[in-house]
Amino acid sequence: MSRYRQRMSFRHPERDAIRVDAVLSALGNPVRLAAVRSLDKDGDRNCGNLLAEIGVSAKSTMTHHWRVLRDAGVIWQHQHGREYQLSVRREDLDARYPGLLDAILAGAARDEAA
Amino acid sequence: MSRYRQRMSFRHPERDAIRVDAVLSALGNPVRLAAVRSLDKDGDRNCGNLLAEIGVSAKSTMTHHWRVLRDAGVIWQHQHGREYQLSVRREDLDARYPGLLDAILAGAARDEAA
């Protein structure tokens, strides 16, 4: 029996297939918005660490959230060893929708400070 | 019996109570995004005209969409005579989240052109 797990790879939309309504819908949720803010601010993280950081304990809920963000083209989710690494698709989002992600993240920071 | 209908007035959040995740969620829907683009481009409109323009026929569906946009602080909806007039809360949104609405609408225009 192999000691290597099967590599699980997720489908991600190409840059050109990203749609702004899907991006807005994905980020229009407090938990997903907090996750993307954290990833954007502090860099790539594996799922477990990010989960602990934003204080969500239900793994199944987060599995759903990662899928929504991935399908919308907001994050990459790739396997590294036994962990899933997450990162924001900054380059793709900035190329496709200049200023959008910055305006959203600045808005979230403003709401938090209020 | 009065020949005047009762004036129906809707609650709208104050500028300071607007939250970016609610704005994103409200605009993260193709019909609502199209409605707001149309209002922003061509100015205030009553519900009936806007409905006809964006090609949605189910009035009950649109009643729901207006409520989501109103509750999120994206539009004003006020009665003028026997009609409800809609307008984008540009000033409030631009003051609270500089560049956000412009980036979103530019993104929608870009998606449409693709």
Chain A residue numbers with beta carbons less than 8 Å from the beta carbon of B96 are 107, 110
Cβ distance B103 to A106 less than 8 Å, yes or no, reads no
Residue A75 phi, psi dihedral angles, 5° rounding:
-130, 155
Segment 6-25 of chain B within 8 Å of chain A by CB? 16, 19-25
> Which one of 3.20.20.70, 1.20.1250.20, 1.10.10.10, 3.40.960.10 gives the CATH number of domain B17-107?
1.10.10.10
Kindly state the DSSP code that residue B43 receives in the 8-state scheme: -
Total number of residues shown for chain A = 114
Where is average pLDDT lowest: A54-58, A92-96, B58-62, B79-83? A54-58
Q: What is the pLDDT of residue B109?
A: 96
ipTM of the complex: 0.88
* pTM summary value: 0.89
How far is residue A53 from each of residues A46, A56, A73, B82, B101, measured CA to CA in Å? 11, 8, 22, 52, 30
Kindly state the DSSP code that residue B29 receives in the 8-state scheme: S
d(CA B66, CA B86): 9
Q: What is the pLDDT of residue B54?
A: 79
**Percent of the residues in chain B that have a pLDDT greater than 90, as a whole number:** 63
Segment 52-111 of chain B within 8 Å of chain A by CB? 96-100, 102-104, 106-108, 110-111
Q: What is the pLDDT of residue B3?
A: 47
d(CA A36, CA A56): 14
CA distance A71 to chain B (A): 14
Q: Are A8 and A66 in contact (CB under 8 A)?
A: no
Q: What is the mean pLDDT of residues B51-75?
A: 86
CA distance B80 to chain A (A): 31
Output B58 or A22, whichever has higher pLDDT. A22
d(CA A33, CA A3): 37
How far is residue A40 from each of residues A48, A89, A92, B23, B86, measured CA to CA in Å? 16, 9, 13, 20, 36
CA distance B18 to chain A (A): 8
Cross-strand bridge partners of residue A86: A45, A77
What's the per-residue H, E or C state across A27-93?
HCCHHHHHHHHHHHHHCCEEHHHHHHHHCCCCHHHHHHHHHHHHHCCCEEEEEECCEEEEEECHHHH
CA distance A82 to chain B (A): 32
Q: Which residue has tokens 């803010």? A: A37
Indicate the residue of B28, B106, B107 with minimum beta-carbon distance to A25: B28
Select the residue from B14, B19, B21, B23 to test the A interface by mutation, using most A Cβ atoms within 10 A: B21
Cross-strand bridge partners of residue B30: none
